[in-house]
Structure 1
Amino acid sequence: MSITLPGPTLGVVGGGQLGRMLAEAASPLGVDLVVLDPTPDCPAATVAADQIVADFDDADAIDELASRVDALTFEIELADPDVLAAAGEEHGVSVHPDTETLETIQDKLVQKEALADAGIPVPEFVAVATAEGLERVVEEFGGVMLKAREGGYDGRGNVPVETPDAAAAALDEVGGAAMAEEFLDFEREIAVMGLKGADGETRTYPVTETVHREEILRESVAPARADDAVVAEAESVARDVLDVLDGRGVFGIELFETREGEVLVNEIAPRPHNSGHWTIEGARTSQFENHVRAVLGWPLGPTDLVAPAVTANVLGDVDEIEPATLSGVESVLGAPDADLHWYEKDDTYPLRKMGHLTVTDGDADPDAVSADERDALLDRARELRDGLTFDA
């Protein structure tokens, strides 16, 4: 392949914070982004070359997007795979990851079935459609996590059901077709950012520990505070997952480490993922740059850890929707070990992702970082994050 600069133009369905960081990573490569998003002046708009304001499944708008770019990708699973495939074929541009992969992942039941059929370890799961059926499953499993089959995001669409008498209300809350998954007594949640490039090349980023509360990712720790056997198993499982998925790009692979040391796949995102934001400062090539490279068929960048890193999400700490004004920023900007990322969203509301900060330890040996060093980084990231507020 012969690559010249300025580079091609990449079309992205979705212009949220992931689209914004894709544009930031693409620019030094000489690649322009055109994003499609229904929110005028979306987070990616100020760094992308242009924005098309339209719904994620607007066939005419996606056709226009395809007519203006050299390749297509997406940063949100709400993109319509059939519309994307048709637009790509009409204008002779590639779509990555593969639209069939997107279709599989959009339905959590179909996703889990595909993984199970491939022999990849997953929690026990079953489709549910009625309250009576869910009641039986809850009795059998001793409680379940009920998940909407489609549309769930950042914990939305997930409802814990601990007793049979809670089944009907939970099914109403998820709004229709659902999947029930066994409750796991897990040691920790972990993630692997997997990468597929041209000619079937695969790479993985170091295993990351993810810390959730109220179903929302709060912090990620790289490398994960897991023993060597669990890390090796997580990497192996992640590569098996990549073998199941078609198309180029980054895949966020969320996993559970059980108390017994098993590694089970939770969910997959066919795009850069919050679990991998630490790669901007902590890896040789960020997940966003590598997604751009992969989608375009360019050589992949190294995924090595260059410094232990902890990312903390900056979430809305207000009680209702209000204009976003973040206070306490000087404490992060004055910290030599921290980097702040602001997503430029106009409004904040409870638990909305508004930005993140990453703390790195440049003095630690990336290949021999101790648990104490990672604990100290996590404490430091939390301290800086907790000094920020929208509740002025």
Structure 2
Amino acid sequence: MSELIPGATVGVVGGGQLGRMLAEAASPLGVEVLVLDPTPECPASPPATDQIVADFDDESAIRDLAARVDVLTLEIELADPEGLREASAETGTPVHPAPADLETTRDKLAEARSLADAGIPVADFRRVDEDDDLAAAFDVLGTPLMLKARHGGYDGRGNAVVDTISEATTYFGTLDDLVAEQLVDFERELSVIGVRGHDAIATYPVAENRHEAEILRETLVPARTDDAVHDRAEAVARDVIAQMDGRGVFGIELFETTDGEILVNEIAPRPHNSGHYTIEGTVTSQFEQHVRAILGHPLGETALRAPTAMVNLLGTGEENRSATLSGVEDALAMANAHFHWYGKRDVRPLRKMGHVTATGSGLATARSTANAARDAIDFE
């Protein structure tokens, strides 16, 4: 497939910030990107060659996209795996990651079962479709437990720690199509960006993540843990990637337990928020890597250039309003700080609007710079 670079065209279902950064990374390779997204002039539209305005599960629009590109991929799990499969069959356009990968990872019960069946460590779990199932889960898994919607949850939506059936009902409405997980006593949250190429598997350095209200706030690389945990996290990530059918980048969220074990939390079949540090922090960004992998080209080097910190720029205030930034010049004046704006016109509370990355001679320096740059930026 080497004749496709330059000159290849990649179709992306989803046009949010991940699609934007994919298109930015593809351009230097001579690769064009077309996106499908229901929001006109979505965040990915400026660097993309064209946008099809349609819902993520619009089968006709997905076929149109497939007919115009050399390979289909996705940046959001709301993409329809069956629509992707049918579009590929009709047009001959390959899909990476594979629709089967999306089917598994978008269903938290199917994901947990597939990992457990492969001998990959996960928290104990139970299926919940009614009140009696949750009562049994409390008996087996303990109280409190983590309750997750099997489909559609992201950025903390669809996840809740619950002590009682009443609490669960208040949060979810009906206790149907859920998965209960034993609450993990963890030392820290980790992640590994893994990539499956046409003939190789690669991993990026182990990252340490800090969440609040289930939303990622900060990523530190390398993770502040011992070498044995780094090695185990990388080994588990490689085992996860080996289970995937298609090519591309996968974000693998992990727990380091208090006794030093590694458990898989969730898998994203796409570039991941905790991998944004790779743009400045590693030799090859996760976005360029994804383009390389889905087109079947050699993978890039994943080594860390320097200790790196990434912080998300989240929407402030209590109301939706136009996104008017201030303080960007102050942030850009800080040495080794890099500001990324996602081009979203409206700011909402805790909406991911951008991120700041900083490198440094040590992780403490990088972290201090990244947070100072983030704190300098505000919404008027």
Name the counterpart of 1:309: 308
Q: Which amino acid in structure 1 is aligned with residue 372 of structure 2?
A: E
CA apart distance, 1:327: 1.3
CA apart distance, 1:318: 1.6
Fraction of identical pairs, as percent = 58
Q: Deviations over 1:237-285 (max 9, x none)?
A: 0011011111000000000001100100000000000010000000100
For residues 184 and 251 of structure 2, the distance between their equivalents in structure 1, rounded to whole angstroms, comes to 20
Contact in 2 for aligned 1:138/1:161 (Cα 8 Å): no
Contact in 1 for aligned 2:332/2:373 (Cα 8 Å): no
For residues 76 and 118 of structure 1, the distance between their equivalents in structure 2, rounded to whole angstroms, comes to 25
Contact in 2 for aligned 1:344/1:354 (Cα 8 Å): yes
For residues 9 and 255 of structure 2, the distance between their equivalents in structure 1, rounded to whole angstroms, comes to 37
Name the counterpart of 1:278: 277
- For normalisation by structure 1, the TM-score amounts to 0.94
CA apart distance, 1:134: 1.5
Name the counterpart of 1:368: none
CA apart distance, 1:139: 4.5
Q: Which amino acid in structure 2 is aligned with residue 246 of structure 1?
A: D
CA apart distance, 1:85: 1.0
Name the counterpart of 2:363: 374
For residues 63 and 55 of structure 1, the distance between their equivalents in structure 2, rounded to whole angstroms, comes to 13
Q: Deviations over 1:169-207 (max 9, x none)?
A: 23317x7310011111110000000000013x1000000
Q: Which amino acid in structure 2 is aligned with residue 170 of structure 1?
A: Y
Secondary structure of 1:242's counterpart equals helix
Q: Deviations over 1:36-87 (max 9, x none)?
A: 0000000000110000000000011011101111110000111111111111
Structure 1 segment 223-372 matched on structure 2, within 5 A: 223-361=222-360, 364=361
For residues 236 and 246 of structure 2, the distance between their equivalents in structure 1, rounded to whole angstroms, comes to 18
Contact in 2 for aligned 1:138/1:164 (Cα 8 Å): no
For residues 371 and 231 of structure 2, the distance between their equivalents in structure 1, rounded to whole angstroms, comes to 28
For residues 305 and 34 of structure 1, the distance between their equivalents in structure 2, rounded to whole angstroms, comes to 30
For residues 167 and 37 of structure 1, the distance between their equivalents in structure 2, rounded to whole angstroms, comes to 33
Equivalent residue pairs, number: 379
Contact in 2 for aligned 1:146/1:170 (Cα 8 Å): no
Name the counterpart of 1:15: 15
Secondary structure of 1:3's counterpart equals helix
Contact in 2 for aligned 1:171/1:178 (Cα 8 Å): no
- For normalisation by structure 2, the TM-score amounts to 0.97
For residues 139 and 117 of structure 2, the distance between their equivalents in structure 1, rounded to whole angstroms, comes to 26
Q: Which amino acid in structure 2 is aligned with residue 194 of structure 1?
A: G
Contact in 1 for aligned 2:331/2:372 (Cα 8 Å): no
Aligned-pair Cα RMSD in Å: 1.3
Contact in 1 for aligned 2:138/2:145 (Cα 8 Å): yes
Contact in 2 for aligned 1:337/1:359 (Cα 8 Å): yes
Q: Deviations over 1:105-154 (max 9, x none)?
A: 11000000000000000011111112333234234412111100000011
Name the counterpart of 1:67: 67
Unaligned ranges ≥5, structure 1 = 365-372
For residues 165 and 93 of structure 2, the distance between their equivalents in structure 1, rounded to whole angstroms, comes to 50
